[in-house]
Amino acid sequence: MPGLAPAALRVVLYEGEGSTPLDPGQRLAALVALLAAGYQVTRVVSGGMVTPQDSGFILVLGQFQEGLPPVPAAEHREGRLEVRDVAGISGVGIAEMVEEVRAARGVEAPGSWTPWFPVIDYGRCTNCMQCLSFCLFDVYGVNDASELTVQNQSNCKTSCPACSRVCPEAAIMFPKYKKGPINGDVVRPSDLQSESMKVDISSLLGGDIYASLRNRQKTARKRFSTERDESKALLERKRCLKKLQKNLDIPDEVLMTLPSVGDIQDRARRAKEKHAKRMARSQTVQDQQPAPSVDDWGI
């Protein structure tokens, strides 16, 4: 995802006063092609209501009865408004024209990233942070209000809904997932029961996922040194991963990109440092507060 860039380009099909409406086939073909290419399209008619403009680039297309309308200087919006006549141009031709204008203006092309990421239902989320502990790709974070947040959407692995399955409240949605309630469908009591039945990674690993991973590594080292049966251990690991993969619906590609134990420990160390820094900063801020007065104490 290109760094949370603002809207690329808004296309306005103008069919209001002073213009001839587009041919129905031309309009639909243009809409289909533009939406498929990732553009936002607004159809404007006389007396109709659409969402207002913002500071982004707007391309107005229409069949203007008296040539291109003059755009008042105040409406030029620092060159972020362009008007084109599309009379006699097919729907697909209109989409091609938009693409040319976008490229010429140097506006970022839409659709460079598949939008797959978790969406939190804050009406259900209890801020338990299980998802944050579980996700190995730094998708989750905590905001200034100590509330769970999705901070790195583009780190999320496409088609992997695993974190939503460890949420005890079914509060994590992936709107493009095939089944409910993960896709945003209503959460029924039976869903919640089955959600909690699925996998509670935290309790499975004894509460602290990182400590458990360290213990597992120690145990594995011990076992390797005594048994020296690497192939058996690898087989066991593979079997465990397969089971986990099936339970959590994790795509193969995600398992292939899992960070190593070292990476996870490193990340945990960085998180601890960050937390310690934050605590120190917050302590300093508290210390800088003036001492409470007699009035503050209510004396």
Partner 1 sequence: MGRMSQAKETRVVYCNCTYAKVVPEDVKTEVLARLSQSGMAFDAVADLCEMSARKDPALKRISAAGEVRIIACYPRAVLGLFRAAEAPLAGDRVEILNMRVAAAADLVRQVLPAAPPLKEKT
Residue 181: CB partners within 8 Å, gap ≥ 6?
170, 173, 187, 188, 191, 195
Binding mask 147-166 for partner 1 (x = CB under 8 A): ---x--xx------------
Q: What span, in angstroms and rounded, lies between the C-alpha atoms of 164 and 117?
A: 11
Instruction: Determine the interface stretch with partner 1 among 179-187, 208-216, 222-230, 267-275 (rule: CB under 8 A).
Output: 179-187
- The token pair that represents 60 in the structure block: 């107005």
Question: What phi-psi label fits residue 18: left (phi over 0), alpha (psi between -120 and 50 degrees) or beta?
Answer: left
Decide: is 80 part of the binding site for partner 1 (CB under 8 A).
no
Beta strands in 126-225 (DSSP E): 140-142, 148-150, 172-173
149 neighbors 277 (Cβ within 8 angstroms): no
In a 10 Å sphere around its CB, with 0-12 CB exposed, 13-18 middle and 19+ buried, how is residue 123 labelled? exposed
Cβ nearer to partner 1, comparing 160 with 209: 160
Q: How far is the CB of 101 from partner 1 (least distance, A)?
A: 17
Tell me which of 17, 20, 48, 230 binds partner 1, using CB under 8 A: 48
Instruction: Determine the interface stretch with partner 1 among 41-49, 64-72, 126-134, 273-281 (rule: CB under 8 A).
Output: 41-49
Q: What is the CA radius of gyration of the chain?
A: 27
Decide: is 199 part of the binding site for partner 1 (CB under 8 A).
no
The owner of tokens 């069949």 is: 63
- The token pair that represents 282 in the structure block: 């917050």
Decide: is 178 part of the binding site for partner 1 (CB under 8 A).
yes
Decide: is 50 part of the binding site for partner 1 (CB under 8 A).
yes
Nearest C-alpha neighbor of 102 from the set 51, 42, 38: 38
- The token pair that represents 288 in the structure block: 């800088």
Decide: is 42 part of the binding site for partner 1 (CB under 8 A).
yes
Decide: is 27 part of the binding site for partner 1 (CB under 8 A).
yes
Tell me which of 110, 155, 210, 271 binds partner 1, using CB under 8 A: 110
Cβ nearer to partner 1, comparing 32 with 103: 32
Q: What span, in angstroms and rounded, lies between the C-alpha atoms of 196 and 171?
A: 12
Cβ nearer to partner 1, comparing 47 with 67: 47
Cβ nearer to partner 1, comparing 117 with 209: 117
67 neighbors 20 (Cβ within 8 angstroms): no
Q: How far is the CB of 120 from partner 1 (least distance, A)?
A: 6
Binding mask 56-75 for partner 1 (x = CB under 8 A): x-------------------
Residues that bind partner 1 (CB under 8 A): 1, 4-7, 10, 24, 27-28, 31-32, 35-45, 47-56, 110-111, 113-117, 119-122, 150, 153-154, 173, 175-178, 180, 183-187
